[in-house]
Amino acid sequence: RPPRSTLFPYTTLFRSLATGLAVLTLGSAPMALSHLVKDEAMQSYRQSYFTLIAMNFGPMTAMVKGDMPWDDAKMLALAEDFAAIASVDVARAFGPGSDKGTTRAKPEIWENTDDFLEKYAALQSASKGLLAAAQSGDRSAIGGAIKETGGACKACHDEYKAKDYLY
């Protein structure tokens, strides 16, 4: 992995821009919270979480498939973010009563909680393997880790995610 100074040669400019972006982000936090559906907070939480998962996994998959140019630094950054997001315990957002409302989570999640949690743990484990592969820079290992992680996602989706929203 190249040193950060190689990735960001204009460190002072970058820090200034990052500080400005942080101020704007904090200032817009109330607006971001306005997207939270008050009566369906757990559903909003889950949907936001899985959107972040998808937005990090998608580009990695695209690079492995050759649909997007390969970029080692970007792959590593995406894998780091993906692993960090996957480490967040989204299972707590599947509490009692959160099976109703705007959701694609099938009722089977609440009927087979242990299986659901095992599948979620498999995703968390796969995310660590994906990060290790990305840190190695070995494209073959990364491809295998992408396949394993995608399989963990699919295992849960097949049983616990509806194609359309349930009301």
Predicted pLDDT of residue 38: 80
First to last CA, the chain: 47
Q: Find the mean pLDDT for residues 80-92.
A: 96
Q: Measuring CA to CA, which residue among 158, 45, 40 is closest to residue 100? A: 40
More confident residue, 131 or 21: 131
pLDDT of residue 80 exceeding 80: yes
Is residue 25 pLDDT above 80, yes or no?
no
CB 43 within 8 A of CB 167: no
**pLDDT above 70 as % of the chain:** 78
Q: What tens digit of pLDDT does each residue of 105-120 get? A: 999 999 999 999 999 9
The pLDDT value given to residue 65 = 97
Phi-psi region of 63 (alpha: psi -120 to 50; beta: other; left: phi over 0): alpha
Q: What is the pTM of this model?
A: 0.77
CA 91 vs. chain centroid, Å, equals: 14
> So what's the pLDDT on residue 165?
84
With vertex at residue 18, the alpha carbon angle to CA 15 and CA 19, rounded to the nearest 5 degrees, is 85
Distance CA 140, CA 64 (A): 9
**Chain mean pLDDT for the chain:** 86
Tens digits of per-residue pLDDT, 44-77?
A: 999 999 999 999 999 999 999 999 999 999 999 9
Neighbour count for residue 136 (Cβ, 10 Å): 13
> Under a CB-based contact definition with an 8 Å cutoff, are residues 98 and 114 in contact?
no
Q: Please provide residue 105's backbone torsions phi and psi, each rounded to the nearest 5 degrees.
A: -75, 120
